[in-house]
Amino acid sequence: MEFAWSEQDAAFRRELVAFLDRELADWQRSETGLGSAVYSEFSRAFVGKLADKGWLTPHWPPEYGGGGQGAWQHFVLGEEMWKRGEPRGPQYMNVNWVGPALIKYGTEQQRRTLLPPIARGEVFWCQGFSEPEAGTDLAALRTRAVREGDGFVLNGQKIWTSYANVADYCFLLARTGSTASGRAGISVFLLPLDTPGVEVRRISGLVGEHSFNELFLTDAWIPAECLLGEENEGWRIVRRTLAYERVGAPRYARAALVLDRLAERCREAGLFGDEGIQEQFGAARAQCEAARVLVYRVIDERAKAKEPSPLANQARAAMVLAERAVGDLAVDVLGSEALAEGELGDAQFRNSLGAGIAAGSYEVQLNLITRLILKLPKD
Ligand SMILES: Cc1cc2nc3c(=O)[nH]c(=O)nc-3n(C[C@H](O)[C@H](O)[C@H](O)COP(=O)(O)OP(=O)(O)OC[C@H]3O[C@@H](n4cnc5c(N)ncnc54)[C@H](O)[C@@H]3O)c2cc1C
């Protein structure tokens, strides 16, 4: 087993780090939230520069604007972005899972129309899955899509839709089967957000004032070309999509960096004399490393073109633990001042709360690990 980076990957990281140090010298992640106007304006300009270098979608096929590179290069990119607070903004969703879903399930027409603008960094997408009565139990969703003429009429409500206020499209789940059809009656729609009948309302939230939104759909008509895959095939698409999303953000990379900065603070304040604190640091470092290695197993599967597996659930759970360990440690060693706006523990602590809920909660990941990896009975 070889754990070292190839010379090619290492050289790519060096070049990337030098570029980011230059481009992001004056930038700090906006604490007003990923969906804020300031943040998304910055992201739009920044991803254009990445696209010019072929570093926005390096892992996509060249015919759709990608660089034809492997999964590892894409992941090195993700690690360096996440360490810096994800300057790609909402674009990280496009490149991690929206694009790959379009490549896998889209028609040639959808690929040719929708992928190049993502690869050029010109559009943002958001994810319209959750509803007020359908979060963990996603198959209970009630937003309806009914055939009318050459298209569908959408009615319903989505909630917690990150970045909908700045997005151009929504990757939307809606029910096309009967009310009782469960997973078998769900379809995916590629919804342009400027469609008449679509209304976005902001929700203030813990992860940032401008991050969450509700999406209201009232008799919103879209052409049949907006359907992704077959009608009622949505569940299969969404399972794959979530596997990509779960490890899309290398959260351990940011957590490890915050941990290093916390260690510096503690050293300066002479706090390492306390054995308890030393122990907490050791445990948090181990969590970050465990998460990193478990995520690498998923990327290794991807690089070998294997189908997504439950290793993604394991890796996600480990990342949540790593984020929580560092967020809790910040509060333990720095006290409540760690959570003051812009302070070291602030974004970390809030991220760690969100990480255990988004893309399937921590408890749901544990359920899936027991069922799919440990093969324990469901009840
Ligand atoms: C930062 C962040 C960003 C998000 N972005 C988006 C987005 O862009 N688009 C979108 O559609 N959604 C988004 N969400 C919503 C997210 O997907 C849901 O919050 C999540 O699926 C949980 O659903 P819920 O909030 O309805 O909680 P519930 O499903 O009501 O769960 C509440 C609690 O009960 C636990 N629980 C529920 N069922 C079980 C079970 N069977 N076994 C054990 N425990 C269980 C859960 O673990 C959780 O702790 C985001 C959430 C966060 C925090």
Q: Please give the average per-residue pLDDT across 185-201, as a whole number.
A: 98
- Write out pLDDT tens, residues 151-160: 999 999 999 9
Average pLDDT over residues 254-264: 92
The verdict on the CB of residue 364 being under 6 Å from ligand 1 is yes
The answer to whether residue 150 scores a pLDDT higher than 70 is yes
Report the top-level CATH class of 247-373: mainly alpha
Please give the share of the chain, as a percent, with pLDDT higher than 90. 70
Is 37 a residue whose pLDDT tops 70? no
Is pLDDT at 41 greater than 70 in this prediction? yes
Whether ligand 1 lies within 6 angstroms of the CB of 35 is answered as: no
295-307: per-residue pLDDT in tens?
A: 999 999 999 999 9
What pLDDT is attached to residue 35? 54
Ligand 1 atom nearest residue 126's Cα: 8
Mutation test residue for ligand 1: of 96, 126, 130, 157, the one with most atoms within 8 Å of CB = 130
Q: Using a 6 Å cutoff on CB, does residue 241 contact ligand 1?
A: no
Position 40 pLDDT exceeds 90: no
Ligand 1 pocket member 141 (CB < 6 A): no
Residue of the CA atom closest to atom 29 of ligand 1:
136
What spacing in Å lies between the alpha carbon of 89 and ligand 1's midpoint? Answer: 21
Confidence (pLDDT) at 10? 94
**279 vs 3 pLDDT, higher one:** 279
Residue 221 confidence (pLDDT): 98
On the question of a common fold for 127-232 and 247-373, the answer reads: no
What is the 365 CA–ligand 1 centroid distance (Å)? Answer: 11
CATH class of the structural domain 7-123: mainly alpha
CATH of the domain spanning 127-232, picked from 3.40.190.10, 1.10.10.10, 2.40.110.10, 3.30.43.10: 2.40.110.10
- Stretch 178-184: mean pLDDT, rounded? 94
Report pLDDT for 376.
Answer: 94
The residues near 172 (Cβ < 8 Å, ≥ 6 apart) are: 128, 143, 154, 158, 188, 189, 190, 191
Domains of the chain, by residue range, sit at 7-123, 127-232, 247-373
Band (pLDDT 50/70/90 cuts) for residue 32 is very low
Q: Is the pLDDT of residue 31 over 50?
A: no
Q: Is the predicted pLDDT of residue 358 greater than 70, yes or no? A: yes
pLDDT reported for residue 343? 76
Q: Which residue has the higher pLDDT, 248 or 213?
A: 213
161 — pLDDT class (breaks 50, 70, 90): very high
Q: Ligand 1: does its nearest atom lie under 6 Å from the Cβ of 367?
A: yes
CB-based burial label for 156 (10 Å; 0-12, 13-18, 19+)? buried
Convert the pLDDT of each residue in 67-78 to its tens digit: 888 899 999 999
